Amino acid sequence: MYPLDQRQNWFSGQGRWSNVPASDWNDWHWQLRNRITKLEDLEKMMTLTPEERAGCLFAANKLALAITPHFFNLIDTSNPQCPIRRQVIPSIKESVVAPGEMSDPVGEEETMPVPGIVHRYPDRVLFLVTDRCAAYCRYCTRSRLVSNAQAYDFHPEFEEGIRYIETHPEVRDVLISGGDPLLLSDAKIDYLFGRLRAIPHVEFIRMGSRIPVFLPQRITPELAAIFRKHGPIWLSIHTNHPKEITQELSAALERLSLAGVPLGNQSVLLSGINDDPEVMKSLIHRLLMMRVRPYYLYACDLIEGSTHFRAPIQKGIDIIRSLRGHTTGYGIPQLVIDGPGGGGKIPINPDYIQAIHDGIIELRNFEDRTYIYPTGNRLPDPTPRIIE
């Protein structure tokens, strides 16, 4: 697989929109204005399966349909199982709610002291600053509020959120998310970073955004300069499949990285999309080439209508096992389950510990060989050897 991962093989260009002037194509406002948001638009571009067609009609009640031209170009319109297609084109399977699936699967509402602030962990908060995204992921954990299709009517109170952080000195880490915070204007982002940076106890500021992937045109030199001005600000992007790694994404991330932004990636383990060791290996290799450190691999949350996306957890464990030792350690994400109902992120690891007994720990290495190490500071030995 490796030769395919080389940068020259990554997608680039205007694809189906080659007749559009480059100045329009490269303008993020043009990309947003020309998003595919209606069934009619989509059907002009491709033939939908009956399930997708019904899914598009259902989407208005659940999570809106939106795909940027940049991301649409990555879809293989001749393959209903295309891993890009399945992430953004609705399916009527989203209307089937299985036992245990919830509208708020990770219990965010219960730990929201003020609208937009989720304070679950002792020293850090999640700060939701918008309910809109450049495109919508069909498995989104925050479908309840994102895109407002379910009339949640989220009005992020910036000021109330900032005041909460200002008056809670235990909050040293703020994760700005949404929705997608990079849909805010440069002026708003500059203001938000400035206000947070001015709070003495806030040591660490980070943002989660899928905009570099959906809308790399948004990462202008001006935006990178705002990150630089208030830096260090860390950024987690969200990619699931190597096809999402384009030369445009790479250029956008380079602008951020050179502005001093440390980059991470979060993926969701998705059935038939990336629940495969070779696919995941290719993805993480491409991420490393762009200075992105794979951070988390999430089991798909129990969001309503997500059964068709959920991969067996054992597949995730097997993927991690297939990576550790076999490729660059920097590339290996932590597999986590976000405890349903509000448990927070719980790490899931392959069993490298075979047993702990009689003063030894028995370990299994990446090649399945067994090694022994003392549990204390030396191996148990009834007759220690004395060097004379």
Ligand X SMILES: *Cc1c(COP(=O)(O)O)cnc(C)c1O
Min dist CB 35 to ligand X, Å, is 27
For ligand SF4, the binding residue among 118, 129, 146, 320 (CB under 6 A) is 146
Name the residue among 232, 310, 322 with its Cα closest to residue 270. 310
- Chain positions 336 to 365 lying near ligand X, rule: CB under 6 A, are 345
* Residue 100 CA from chain centroid, whole number: 23
| Annotated active-site residue in 172, 315, 345, 364 | 345
Indicate whether 124 belongs to the interface with ligand X (CB under 6 A).
Answer: yes
Closest approach, Cβ 164 to ligand SF4, in A, equals 21
Q: Binding marks (x or -) toward ligand X, 172..191, rule CB under 6 A?
A: ---x----------------
Size of the site for ligand X (CB under 6 A): 7
Residues 6+ positions from 179 with CB-CB distance below 8 Å:
128, 129, 130, 131, 132, 133, 142, 145, 146, 154
Task: Give the residue among 8, 10, 3 at the shortest CA–CA distance from 242.
Answer: 10
Instruction: Decide if 120 is catalytic.
Output: yes
133 is catalytic: yes
Long-range CB contacts (within 8 A, 24+) of 16-21? 16/45, 16/69, 16/72, 16/73, 17/69, 17/73
Inter-CA distances, 181 with 83, 131, 176, 216, 237, Å: 25, 9, 7, 14, 12
141: closest CA among 167, 177, 173?
Answer: 177
Nearest CB to ligand X, comparing residues 11 and 121:
121
Residue 223 in the binding site for ligand X (CB under 6 A) = no
CB distance 352 to 366 below 8 Å: no
| 140 in active site | yes
Q: What are the phi and psi torsion angles at 270 (to 5°)?
A: -125, 130
SS3 118: strand
Size of the site for ligand SF4 (CB under 6 A): 11
Q: What torsion, rounded to 10 degrees, do the Cα atoms 285, 215, 186, 234 define?
A: -20
Active site residue 137: yes
Tell me whether residue 289 is exposed, middle or buried, using C-beta atoms within 10 angstroms of its C-beta: 0 to 12, 13 to 18, 19 or more. middle
- Containing H/E element for 364? strand 360-364
* Cα–Cα distance for residue pair 147/196, rounded to 1 Å: 26
Q: Binding partner of residue 126 among ligand X, ligand SF4, none, CB under 5 to 8 Å per kind?
A: ligand X
Task: Tell me which stretch binds ligand SF4 (CB under 6 A): 39-47, 178-186, 302-310, 332-340.
Answer: 178-186
Examine the residue annotation and report whether 206 is marked as an active-site residue of this protein. Answer: no
In angstroms, give the least distance from the CB of 49 to ligand SF4: 22
140 binds ligand SF4 (CB under 6 A): yes
Query: Catalytic residue at 144?
Result: no
Least distance CB 316 / ligand X (angstroms)? 17
Q: What is the CA radius of gyration of the chain?
A: 23
Gap between the Cα atoms of 202 and 51, Å rounded? 47
Window contacting ligand SF4 (CB under 6 A); options: 115-123, 136-144, 194-202, 345-353: 136-144
**Closer residue to ligand X in complex, CB, 124/321:** 124
* CA–centroid distance for 369 within its chain: 34
Q: 178 or 242, CB closer to ligand SF4?
A: 178
Q: Does 142 bind ligand SF4 (CB under 6 A)?
A: yes
Which range in 4-12, 120-128, 134-142, 285-293 contacts ligand SF4 by CB under 6 A?
134-142
* Interface with ligand SF4, residue 154, by CB under 6 A: no
> Measured from the CB atom, is 87 or 250 closer to ligand SF4?
87
Is residue 126 involved in binding ligand X (CB under 6 A)? yes
The per-residue b/e assignment along 43-72, b for 16 or more CB within 10 angstroms, e otherwise, is eeebebeebbbbbbebbeebbbbbbbbbbb
Residue selected from 121, 152, 158, 191 as contacting ligand X according to rule CB under 6 A: 121
Q: Which residues are catalytic?
A: 120-121, 124, 133, 137, 140, 142, 301, 338, 345
Chain residues binding ligand SF4 by CB under 6 A are 133, 136-137, 140, 142, 146, 178-180, 210, 238
Chain residues binding ligand X by CB under 6 A are 118, 120-121, 124, 126, 175, 345
